[in-house]
Amino acid sequence: MGKATGFLDYARRSNPAQEPLARIKHWKEFHPQLPEEARREQGARCMECGVPFCQSGETIGGMTSGCPLHNLVPEWNDLIYTGNLQQALLRLLKTNSFPEFTGRVCPALCEAACTCGMNGEPVTIRENELGIIESAFEQGLMQPKIPAVRSGKRVAIVGSGPAGLAAADRLNRRGHQVTVFERDDRVGGLLMYGIPNMKLEKQVIERRVQLMLVQGVEFRTGVDVGRDAQDLQSEFDAVILCCGAKQPRDLSVAGRDAAGVHFAVDFLSATTKSLLDSDLKDGNYLSAQGKDVVIVGGGDTGNDCVATAIRHGCKSVTQLEMMPQLPTERGENNRWPQWPLVCKTDYGQEEAIAVFGSDPRVYQTTVKEILKDDAGQIRAVKTVALYPEKDEKTGRINMREVAGSEQELPCGLLLLAAGFLGPQRYIAEAFGVETDARGNYAANDTDYSTNIPAVFAAGDARRGQSLVVWAIAEGAGAARAVDEYLMGYTYL
C-alpha cells in the first residue's frame, strides 16, 4: 500500500462533467480526465484491502458484487499512486483486454463493492482504470504485440462486439489465426452502434481495431453469417458465436402498427451511423426534432434515447418506467457489498432536467394503447398507472393496472427500450445450435461449447442481455476453452 492513510487524506474526486446545456450542443464525450497529480491522489485512496471485494465478481443477493474480470484493482491503484504507469498498464491488461471501453461505459460494479464505500465514498476505480489506458496510449506504451509463433489453427468469430473482440484478442495472442465476421459496415457491434457517441466516441473503438489489425486479427465487415453463403465449419478449426442479444422486446398493444413507433436500438444505431457517415447531414436517421418523444423503458438504453432525442432538438421527452422508483438510500436488506438498489439520475435525465425543467421519468406507468391520426401516424399514447402486487405462491412482484388511471400523452415518436429477448434465431438455425428456455445459445460457462462440435458461444448470445464487462469476461472464457480444444492444453 503506497499510502496507508490515503482514504483519510484525500476526498473522492471524479472526472469533471461539462454542464448539460453546453454538452447537448455536441456529440462528443464530456468528461475530461483529471490531471496526473490528482489521479495519483485518487489511486492513493485505495486501501489495498486484505479481502478486496472490488475484484471478487461474486454473486450476492442475485446480483454481481465486484468486477467479473477480477481486475487486479489494488495493485494498479498502488502503481498509479507511485507513478509507475508502465507496470500499472501491465497489471491492468493482464485481466482486461479493453479498459478504454469499460472505463467509459461500465456501471462500475467494482466501486459498489469497494470497502471505502461501506462508510464513505468508494475509490474512483473505473476512472483510475481509464486514466491508465489513456495515458498509455498518449505516451506510446500501447505498441502492437505480434505473436512470434503461429499455431496453424484458424478460428472464426461471428460478431465483433465486446465478447467477440475479447475472444479475438486472446486467441490471437496465443498464436491462432483469427477472423472476425461482422454484419454491419463497421467493427464494434454494441460498442459501435448500440452506445451513443457521447458515452463512447467511435475513434476509441477504431484505435483499438487498428492495433488488433497490426497484431494479425482479420476483420470481415458486411458479412451476415447465417444468411450469406459462409461455410465456416469447413474453413476454420473452431467457430465462436458472439452475436449478441439483438432481439428487442416488443409492445403488444392496440395501435402498434402506427408509423412513428421504433425500437430504441434502431433509433440509436441510425443516429450513430448517420453521425459517422455525414455528421447527420444525410438525414438517414430517425429524427426526434420538434417531436414529443415517449420512451418505454427506464434503463440505460432508455436514458441514451433521452440524451439522443434532446440533441436532435425534440419538443419534449418522457421516459416511462413500469417499476416503482427506487429509494434514494440503501435499504436494510441491500447492504454493502451488494449492488446498491438506489435511484440514480443519469446523464440523459440530467440533460432533460436542464432543458425542460423536470425529470423525464414517470414511474409505475406503461403504454396501454397507441393512438393514430387519419394517416396512420402516431399522435399520442394512452398510458395507465400500475401498482405492485406480490404473488403469494412464487414471491414475485407483478405490476397490475390501476383502474380508471388512463391518461393521454402527446407523442410523435415512440421508442421501445424495454430490453431484449435474446439472440436472433437465424444464426443458431444455420449452425444447428440448440437454444435454452430463454432462447439463448445453449452452452455452459466452463467450456462454452454448444451441441455442435467445434462451435462455441459467448457473450449476450449465451448469457442474455448484460454488461460490456460481462461480455469481455465471456469472450476471455471462450478463448480459453477454444485454445484448450485446439491445443489440448491452455495457459490463457
Residue type, 187: V
The C-alpha atoms of residue 310 and residue 320 are separated, in whole angstroms, by 16
pLDDT digit string, tens, across residues 30-81: 999 999 999 999 999 999 898 899 999 999 888 899 999 999 999 999 999 9
What's the mean pLDDT in 449-473?
96
Give me the half-sphere count of Cα atoms (radius 13 Å) on the Cβ side of residue 232. Answer: 29
Same topology between domain 154-246+421-487 and domain 261-416:
yes
Distances from the Cα of 344 to the Cαs of 210, 348, 442, 452, in angstroms? 36, 11, 34, 43
Predicted confidence at residue 346, as pLDDT, reads: 97
Q: Which residues pair with 408 in a beta bridge?
A: 382
Closest CA to 125 of 161, 87, 96, 167: 96
CB atoms within 10 A of CB 239: 25
pLDDT digit string, tens, across residues 113-139: 999 999 899 999 999 999 999 999 999
Decide if pLDDT at 432 tops 90: yes
Q: Which helix (H) or strand (E) holds 204?
A: helix 202-215
Residue type, 341: L
**Length in residues, the chain:** 492
Closest CA to 370 of 226, 229, 256, 230: 256
Contact predicate 179/157, CB 8 Å: yes
Alpha-carbon dihedral sign for residues 273, 276, 280, 284: negative
Residue corresponding to grid cell 495519483: 40
What's the mean pLDDT in 194-210?
98
What's the mean pLDDT in 406-422?
96
Decide if pLDDT at 336 tops 80: yes
Q: Identify the three-state secondary structure at position 460.
A: helix
Predicted confidence at residue 62, as pLDDT, reads: 87
CATH number 3.40.190.10 is the correct assignment for the domain at 154-246+421-487:
no
Predicted confidence at residue 276, as pLDDT, reads: 98
Q: How confident is the model at residue 391 (pLDDT cuts 50, 70, 90)?
A: confident
What radius of gyration, in Å, describes the C-alpha atoms of the chain? Answer: 23
Assign 3-state DSSP to the chain and report helix, strand, coil percentages, each to 5.
Answer: 35, 20, 45
Number of helices (H) and strands (E) in the chain: give both, helices first. 17, 16
Average pLDDT, the chain: 96
Q: Identify the three-state secondary structure at position 257.
A: coil
The C-alpha atoms of residue 13 and residue 30 are separated, in whole angstroms, by 16
pLDDT digit string, tens, across residues 467-484: 999 999 999 999 999 999
Cis peptide before 337 (omega within 30 of 0): yes
Closest CA to 299 of 233, 346, 234: 346
Q: Which residues pair with 449 in a beta bridge?
A: 456
Per-residue exposure over 288-304, b if at least 16 CB sit within 10 Å of its own CB, e if not: beebbbbbbbbebbbbb
Contact predicate 399/387, CB 8 Å: yes
Q: Which helix (H) or strand (E) holds 300?
A: helix 300-312
- Say what percent of the chain tops pLDDT 90: 92
Contact predicate 182/219, CB 8 Å: yes
Q: Identify the three-state secondary structure at position 423.
A: coil
Listed in sequence order, the residues at least 6 apart from 338 whose beta carbon sits closer than 8 Å to its beta carbon are: 60, 61, 63, 65, 112
Report the topology of domain 261-416: FAD/NAD(P)-binding domain (3.50.50)
The C-alpha atoms of residue 31 and residue 130 are separated, in whole angstroms, by 11
Predicted confidence at residue 61, as pLDDT, reads: 85
Contact predicate 417/308, CB 8 Å: no
Predicted confidence at residue 5, as pLDDT, reads: 92
User: Which of 134-143, 208-217, 227-236 is least confident?
Assistant: 227-236
What's the mean pLDDT in 331-349?
94
Predicted confidence at residue 228, as pLDDT, reads: 84
- CATH C-level class of 6-138: mainly alpha
Contact predicate 219/180, CB 8 Å: yes
Predicted confidence at residue 229, as pLDDT, reads: 66
User: Which of 49-63, 317-331, 362-376, 444-458 is least confident?
Assistant: 49-63
The C-alpha atoms of residue 171 and residue 147 are separated, in whole angstroms, by 10
What's the mean pLDDT in 173-183?
97
Domain extents for the chain?
Answer: 6-138, 154-246+421-487, 261-416
Alpha-carbon dihedral sign for residues 258, 264, 267, 273: negative
Decide if pLDDT at 1 tops 70: no
Helix residue ranges per DSSP H, 53-201: 73-81, 85-93, 99-105, 109-112, 125-138, 162-173
